[in-house]
Amino acid sequence: EVVDFIGNGIPALITKALSARGHPPDPDEMNALLTTFRSFYVDCLTKSTKPYAGVLELASNLTSRGIALGVCTNKEEALACGIVDNLGLRDHFTIVVGSKPDRPRKPSPVPLLETIAMLGGTPENSIMVGDSAVDVNCARNAGVAFVGVTFGYSRTPLASLGAGIAIDHFSEFGAACEFLRGGA
C-alpha cells in the first residue's frame, strides 16, 4: 500500500502514509520523522534496490552511441546520487538532479530543464522516461517528449495520465523513439 505514496519525495511519502492511518504529522513531528527516516534509508539505500530489467543494456547501448543520460528525480539529490553510485550506474547516468530546498520539484519543468542543460541537450532533442503523472506533467511542462514505463511505481494506467506512448520493457525503447520521431 505504500507504493501509492511514492514519487513526490520523502516528506510527501511520510505525510501520505501517516494521513492514510488517520494521523497527519504536525510540523514539529515531521522534522523528527524526516531525520529518523533518512537515517534508516541511508543505511539500506540499495539493500533491496536493483535496476529495472534491461536498463543496463539500454544505458550501455545509448552511451556507447554518444547519447548522454541523466536522472531527474524528486528524491533528495544526495540520496539519488548514492543510489546511482551504489548500483554502478554512474558511468551511464553522469548527471543526477534531485530535490533540494531551493529547487522546485517535478512536475515543475525546472529540474528536468536543468538536467537537460547539464547534459548539453535541449528540450527538443531530449526524451524523458517515467512512470507517473508527475513525470508526464513534468515532461509536458518542459516541452520534452515522454516515454512511459508500465513497470514503475504508479498504479494508474499511463494512458489515463496522458502519456502518448508506453513500454513494457526497456527493450522496446528504440521502437518508442522511432514512433516519437514519426517513423512508425
Q: Are 153 and 27 in contact (CB under 8 A)?
A: no
Q: What SS3 class is residue 130?
A: strand
Tell me the three cell numbers of residue 61: 547501448
The H-assigned helical ranges of the chain are: 10-20, 27-43, 55-64, 77-86, 110-118, 133-142, 158-161, 173-180
Q: Does domain 55-180 fall into CATH 3.40.50.2300?
A: no
Q: What is the pLDDT of residue 11?
A: 87
CA dihedral 102, 148, 58, 56 (to 10 degrees): 60
**Rounded CA gap, 6 and 9, in Å?**
7
Spatial separation of the C-alpha atoms in residues 75 and 52, rounded to whole Å = 17
For the chain, which residues score pLDDT lower than 50? none
- The pLDDT of residue 59: 98
Domain spans, the chain = 2-43, 55-180
